[in-house]
């Protein structure tokens, strides 16, 4: 065969192969685009879980498609799965090599910051928001960033919890679905909203059908709540109808509640009522003064004060200050029109779930815009009708970085109920997907009476040493050349824990799904079995040391500090010292500083009664790769080997008699 023929044959073969590959790439893009369209349609309909499935299917064809990764984050944020939303948004940043990310996804940094706030990671959220302000030109996004930065400043200034016991009402009331609202009748009947559904098993898979909100009740006996049952008052619970927000007015023997349905991809709620008379409930009827097919009316509450009777409710009707506002209606005037509670209560955002506590003339409600810890917080204002004092946040632990709403007050500042999607044992996959009902009580003893008391683990130096405590890269005091720090290991640990999603995104960069999932599981295993376990073990060790010191013994603790190979030897030596000092600071601050006096009292041997011995190893024992380029240095931060090496070890706890 001639060289020309050979060359022509090769060229033809390459053209055929290239054509096949081009067709394959084209087909992959086509399939990915179709799944993306299906996901977009599901998002528009509010079917966020289904949208996430479509976007994930699209990623099987184009794994590094940043648009699909970003939309996975958007679906998770809409589902209130803040942990996974933060992961997907972090992945967009880490996978991106060429795009102007702010131009491609203008809301990325804002939504990443909002997810981080919900996850308690306010310092990182602050950084994302400032980055957004530098690069983003959209005036509305910039305004929202500034509001979130103001919220973070408020959180930092108010990061303290008042003495209050929060109790999850348990599995007789709460389950893996959402429970909403609470109304206590005659101090003994808890009425609330829960999800009713049917299950169908096909080919080993479980499917849920006929999913609707319905009204349930449970009897309360001190701290015990009986298993929930569906409320059987007349025909309030209508088949295949979403029913919620029940409030019973004992004076008029009337139950007010909400029916909701979808209309033009929008949820429309209407207030209905039924009256109990001569042993029977009347047929549910729409509450005519608020009948409106175009806007939602929900969360009705009847309040009597100063000889007047008013209904407070939430609505997005025109004439308000924002999205959902709180309004009131004079129940004694048949021609009365709803009145907005004014700008003291209502904002440009959402104000919902009002409750009026007559004894103290206090209005309680939830808002996602007044200064709070994240999502919806519960607020209080004193007044009546349209005159209100400045709103007051109920603070932690009633409020959290999650969504806290539906207040029901038994005794002002003492006892009440609320609804929250904070993580609980009922939420498995998406730890913030669903709401549970909680009770707060500021007069209960410090030791809880409902939770199961678990046998306390004891520390034994023979079996529990060494204790390894891990650090994020260049922590504490990044960039410092000093061997000392004022930082406590508690803060180092908390800040490191909040970076788990960033580590997952970095470790899974550019990998196919099976390898990416393996890396993600490795990161989860490290954070749970090494980072958290070490921190928990340190607390047990300090309890052991406290007992020894109180018994008159003297203690020496030997602490070794290690680093990865990322920095120079001299810098790493000082970094290892800072890590040891941060643990030393934590020991002095632990349990309200109970051990600090022992670090200052001298024993007969001329040493402090609680002595810490520093052994800064630095990177002398490091075996992790020594990065040279900037990219290698960035990647080395997230390597498993580097994560293992950035630690201190408490090698010895020795008694000196």
CA distances from 543 to 52, 309, 408, 537, 653 (A): 46, 57, 40, 10, 13
Question: pLDDT tens-digit profile of 85-129?
Answer: 999 999 999 988 777 888 889 999 999 999 999 998 898 999 999
Q: How confident is the model at residue 159 (pLDDT cuts 50, 70, 90)?
A: confident
Q: Which residues 6+ apart lie within 8 Å of 240 measured at CB? A: 210, 212
- Check if the beta carbon of residue 85 is closer than 8 Å to that of residue 115: yes
Q: Which residues 6+ apart lie within 8 Å of 280 measured at CB? A: 234
- Check if the beta carbon of residue 304 is closer than 8 Å to that of residue 384: no
- At residue 261, what are phi and psi to the nearest 5 degrees? -150, 165
256-271 burial, b at 16+ Cβ within 10 Å, e below that, comes to bbbbbeeeeeeebbbb
Query: CA 586, 590, 593 angle in degrees (round to 5)?
Result: 110
Query: Half-sphere exposure of residue 467, counting CA atoms within 13 Å on the CB side?
Result: 25
CA distance 559 to 5: 75
DSSP-assigned letters across all residues of 103-160? HH-TTHHHHHHHHHHHTT-HHHHHHHHHHHHHH---HHHHHHHHHHHHHHHHHHHT--
Two structure tokens written together for 612: 């810490």
Query: Which of 209, 208, 210, 227 is CA-nearest to residue 218?
Result: 227
In terms of C-beta distances under 8 Å and separation of at least 24 residues, what long-range contacts does 476-481 make, across chains too? Answer: 476/578, 476/579, 476/582, 477/578, 480/574, 480/578, 481/571, 481/574
CA distance 604 to 610: 12
CA distances from 295 to 324, 326, 379, 500 (A): 10, 14, 25, 42
Q: What percent of the chain has pLDDT over 90?
A: 65
Query: Half-sphere exposure of residue 61, counting CA atoms within 13 Å on the CB side?
Result: 19
CA distances from 449 to 148, 228, 436, 445, 452 (A): 38, 21, 19, 8, 8
DSSP state of 557: E
Question: pLDDT tens-digit profile of 383-397?
Answer: 998 899 999 999 999
Q: Which residues 6+ apart lie within 8 Å of 117 measured at CB? A: 125, 148, 151, 152, 155, 374, 401
How confident is the model at residue 15, as a pLDDT? 41
Which residues are bridge partners to 440 per DSSP?
Answer: 166, 416
How confident is the model at residue 453, as a pLDDT? 35
- Check if the beta carbon of residue 88 is closer than 8 Å to that of residue 77: no
pLDDT for residue 344 is more than 90: yes
pLDDT for residue 558 is more than 80: yes
Q: Give the three-class secondary structure for 359.
A: helix
Question: pLDDT tens-digit profile of 172-223?
Answer: 999 888 889 888 988 889 999 998 887 777 666 666 777 899 999 999 887 8
How confident is the model at residue 5, as a pLDDT? 43
- Check if the beta carbon of residue 374 is closer than 8 Å to that of residue 400: yes
Two structure tokens written together for 651: 């090698």
Which residues are bridge partners to 339 per DSSP?
Answer: 328
Two structure tokens written together for 24: 């394959």
Two structure tokens written together for 455: 């046998």
Two structure tokens written together for 467: 């204790």
Which residues are bridge partners to 554 per DSSP?
Answer: 656
pLDDT, the chain, mean? 88
Give the distance from CA 623 to its chain's centroid: 37
Q: Which residues 6+ apart lie within 8 Å of 203 measured at CB? A: none
pLDDT for residue 305 is more than 50: yes
DSSP-assigned letters across all residues of 65-115? -HHHHHHHHHHHHHTT-HHHHHHHHHHHHHH-SSS-HHHH-TTHHHHHHHH
Which residues are bridge partners to 358 per DSSP?
Answer: none
How confident is the model at residue 204, as a pLDDT? 64
Two structure tokens written together for 242: 């979403």
How confident is the model at residue 17, as a pLDDT? 41
- At residue 116, what are phi and psi to the nearest 5 degrees? -65, -40
Q: For the residues 611-618, what does the mean pLDDT come to? A: 87
Residues, the chain, total?
657
How confident is the model at residue 624, as a pLDDT? 67
Query: Which of 583, 529, 587 is CA-nearest to residue 561?
Result: 583
Other CB atoms within 10 Å distance of the CB of residue 621: 10
**Is the overall model pTM greater than 0.85, yes or no?**
no
Q: For the residues 581-610, what does the mean pLDDT come to? A: 94
Query: CA 473, 478, 482 angle in degrees (round to 5)?
Result: 120
Which residues are bridge partners to 411 per DSSP?
Answer: 415
Query: Which of 642, 167, 85 is CA-nearest to residue 424?
Result: 167
CA distance 284 to 276: 11
Q: How confident is the model at residue 267 (pLDDT cuts 50, 70, 90)?
A: confident
pLDDT for residue 483 is more than 90: yes
CA distance 274 to 255: 5
Interstrand relation of 554-562 and 610-618 (parallel, antiparallel or unpaired): parallel
How confident is the model at residue 333, as a pLDDT? 92
**Signed CA dihedral, 152, 154, 158, 164: sign only:** negative
pLDDT for residue 343 is more than 70: yes
* Residue 559 host element (H or E): strand 554-562
Q: Give the three-class secondary structure for 340.
A: strand
CA distance 250 to 244: 18
Query: CA 122, 128, 132 angle in degrees (round to 5)?
Result: 140
Rg (CA), the chain: 30
pLDDT for residue 401 is more than 80: yes
Q: Give the three-class secondary structure for 191.
A: strand
Query: CA 318, 324, 329 angle in degrees (round to 5)?
Result: 70
Q: Give the three-class secondary structure for 194.
A: strand
């Amino acid at each position: 065969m001639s060289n020309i023929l050979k060359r022509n044959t090769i060229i033809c073969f390459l053209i055929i192969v290239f054509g096949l590959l081009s067709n394959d790439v084209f087909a992959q893009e086509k399939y990915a685009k179709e799944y993306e369209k299906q996901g977009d349609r599901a998002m528009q309909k509010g079917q966020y879980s289904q949208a996430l499935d479509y976007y994930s299917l699209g990623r099987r064809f184009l794994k590094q498609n940043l648009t699909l990764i970003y939309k996975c984050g958007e679906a998770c944020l809409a589902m209130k799965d803040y942990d996974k939303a933060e992961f997907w948004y972090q992945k967009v940043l880490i996978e991106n090599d060429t795009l102007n990310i702010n131009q491609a996804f203008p809301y990325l940094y804002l939504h990443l910051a909002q997810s981080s706030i919900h996850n308690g990671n306010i310092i990182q959220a602050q950084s994302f928001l400032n980055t957004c302000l530098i690069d983003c030109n959209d005036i509305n996004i910039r305004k929202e960033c500034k509001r979130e930065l103001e919220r973070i400043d408020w959180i930092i200034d108010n990061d303290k919890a008042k003495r209050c016991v929060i109790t999850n009402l348990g599995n007789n009331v709460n389950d893996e679905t959402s429970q909403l609202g609470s109304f206590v009748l005659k101090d003994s009947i808890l009425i609330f909203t829960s999800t009713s559904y049917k299950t169908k098993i096909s080919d080993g898979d479980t499917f849920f059908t006929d999913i609707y909100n319905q009204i349930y009740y449970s009897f309360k006996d001190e701290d015990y709540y009986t298993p929930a049952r569906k409320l059987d008052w007349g025909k309030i619970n209508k088949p295949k109808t979403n029913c919620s927000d029940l409030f019973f007015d004992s004076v008029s023997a009337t139950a007010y509640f909400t029916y909701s349905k979808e209309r033009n991809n929008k949820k429309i709620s209407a207030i209905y009522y039924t009256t109990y008379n001569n042993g029977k409930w009347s047929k549910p009827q729409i509450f005519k003064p608020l009948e409106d097919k175009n806007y939602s009316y929900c969360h009705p509450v009847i309040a009597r004060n100063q000889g007047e009777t008013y209904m407070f409710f939430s609505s997005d009707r025109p004439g308000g200050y924002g999205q959902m506002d709180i309004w009131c209606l004079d129940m004694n005037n048949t021609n009365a029109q709803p009145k907005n509670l004014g700008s003291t209560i209502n904002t440009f955002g959402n104000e919902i779930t009002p409750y009026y506590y007559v004894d103290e003339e206090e209005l309680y409600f939830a808002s996602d815009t007044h200064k709070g810890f994240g999502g919806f917080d519960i607020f209080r204002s004193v007044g009546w009708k349209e005159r209100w004092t400045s709103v007051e946040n109920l603070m932690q632990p009633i409020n959290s970085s999650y969504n806290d709403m539906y207040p029901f007050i038994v005794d002002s500042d003492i006892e009440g109920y609320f609804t929250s999607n904070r993580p609980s044992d009922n939420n498995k996959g998406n730890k913030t997907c669903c709401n549970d009902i909680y009770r707060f009580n500021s007069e209960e003893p410090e030791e809880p009476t409902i939770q199961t008391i678990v046998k306390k683990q004891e520390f034994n130096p023979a079996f529990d040493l060494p204790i390894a405590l891990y650090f994020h890269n260049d922590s504490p005091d990044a960039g410092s050349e000093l061997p000392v720090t004022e930082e406590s290991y508690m803060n180092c640990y908390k800040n490191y824990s909040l970076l788990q999603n960033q580590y997952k995104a970095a470790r899974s960069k550019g990998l196919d799904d099976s390898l990416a999932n393996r890396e993600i599981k490795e990161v989860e295993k490290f954070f749970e079995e090494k980072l958290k376990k070490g921190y928990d073990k340190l607390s047990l060790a300090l309890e052991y040391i406290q007992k020894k010191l109180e018994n008159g013994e003297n203690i020496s603790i030997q602490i070794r500090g290690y680093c990865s190979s990322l920095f120079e030897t001299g810098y790493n030596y000082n970094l290892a010292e800072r890590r040891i000092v941060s643990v030393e600071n934590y020991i002095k601050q632990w349990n309200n500083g109970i051990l600090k006096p022992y670090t200052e009292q001298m024993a007969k041997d001329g040493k402090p009664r609680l002595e810490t011995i520093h052994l800064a190893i630095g990177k002398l024992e490091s075996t992790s790769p020594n990065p040279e380029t900037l990219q290698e240095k960035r990647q080395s931060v997230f390597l498993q080997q580097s994560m293992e090496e950035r630690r201190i070890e408490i090698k010895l706890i020795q008694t000196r008699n």
